[in-house]
């Protein structure tokens, strides 16, 4: 699958049929809300876990030197906590452009803290997209992130801002926090050299 998913996403769901839509955010959509929202609430989705396995050509890296950003990987026993936003269908022109590097919109059940469950959408970069980088150790991922930057800024900023936002929401993600710890270690080593 091509890494540019903007056109494909337009054909996936007919969003104009919906007056309002809940969108689940688990990565940069948690800490960078650059679109109008009608409401927001913490929520989780079942059977998925965050991994920095997606290449970023357009935000945190370049086509020649992609950075690493999050996608969700199937994990039947896991829960991914994040933020759900109620939005109007018009914001998807912007979101499809922002998430165009490999992410497809999927329909999913969002579970709110109240246990109320509602159908929503989530952007996931599947393993067969051309920008997918796949697994590496958390140390290797952190090293890669430490050395990457793109039009949206340094790749490490993505991790550090997300880790801070997760803590503010009282959420824990061992993968994100482990990579944050490595990044802080590399930063200290660089300053001491
Ligand atoms: C998300 O945040 O939900 C999608 C991935 C990203 O934009 O970082």
CATH number of 57's domain: 3.10.490.10
Mean pLDDT score, 59-77: 97
Task: Find where tokens 């999927």 sit.
Answer: 106
78 catalytic? Reply is: no
Q: Give a yes or no: residue 166 inside a domain.
A: yes
Tally of domains within the chain: 1
Q: Give a yes or no: residue 111 inside a domain.
A: yes
Predicted confidence at residue 19, as pLDDT, reads 72
pLDDT band at 15 (very low <50, low <70, confident <90, very high): confident
67 lines ligand 1 (CB under 6 A): no
99 lines ligand 1 (CB under 6 A): yes
Predicted confidence at residue 3, as pLDDT, reads 77
Residue 76 buriedness (CB in 10 A; 0-12 / 13-18 / 19+): exposed
Given the residues 64, 78, 99, 107, the one annotated as active site: 99
Q: Name the closest-CA residue to atom 4, ligand 1.
A: 27
Q: Give a yes or no: residue 138 inside a domain.
A: yes
Q: Give a yes or no: residue 88 inside a domain.
A: yes
Q: Give a yes or no: residue 1 inside a domain.
A: no
Predicted confidence at residue 102, as pLDDT, reads 96
Total residue length of the chain: 193
* C-beta of residue 88 within 8 angstroms of C-beta of residue 38: yes
- pLDDT for residue 91 is more than 90: yes
Residue 193 buriedness (CB in 10 A; 0-12 / 13-18 / 19+): exposed
- Count helices and strands in the chain by DSSP H and E runs: 6, 7
Predicted confidence at residue 25, as pLDDT, reads 98
> Domain span at residue 21?
6-192
* Backbone phi, psi, residue 129, to 5°: -85, 150
């Amino acid at each position: 699958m091509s890494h540019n998913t903007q056109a494909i996403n337009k054909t996936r769901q007919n969003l104009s049929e919906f007056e309002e839509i809940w969108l689940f955010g688990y990565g940069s959509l948690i800490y960078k809300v650059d679109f109008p929202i009608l409401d927001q609430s913490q929520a989780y989705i079942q059977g998925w876990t965050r991994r920095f396995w997606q290449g970023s050509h357009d935000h945190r890296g370049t086509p020649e030197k992609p950075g690493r950003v999050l996608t969700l990987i199937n994990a039947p026993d896991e829960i991914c906590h994040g933020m759900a936003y109620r939005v109007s269908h018009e914001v998807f022109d912007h979101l499809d452009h922002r998430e165009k590097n490999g992410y497809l919109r999927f329909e999913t059940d969002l579970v709110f803290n109240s246990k109320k469950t509602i159908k929503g959408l989530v952007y996931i970069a599947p393993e067969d997209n051309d920008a997918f980088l796949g697994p590496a150790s958390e140390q290797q991922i952190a090293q890669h992130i430490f050395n990457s930057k793109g039009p949206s800024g340094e790749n490490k900023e993505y991790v550090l801002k997300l880790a801070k936002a997760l803590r503010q929401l009282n959420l824990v993600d061992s993968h994100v926090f482990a990579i944050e710890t490595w990044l802080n270690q590399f930063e200290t080593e660089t300053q001491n050299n």
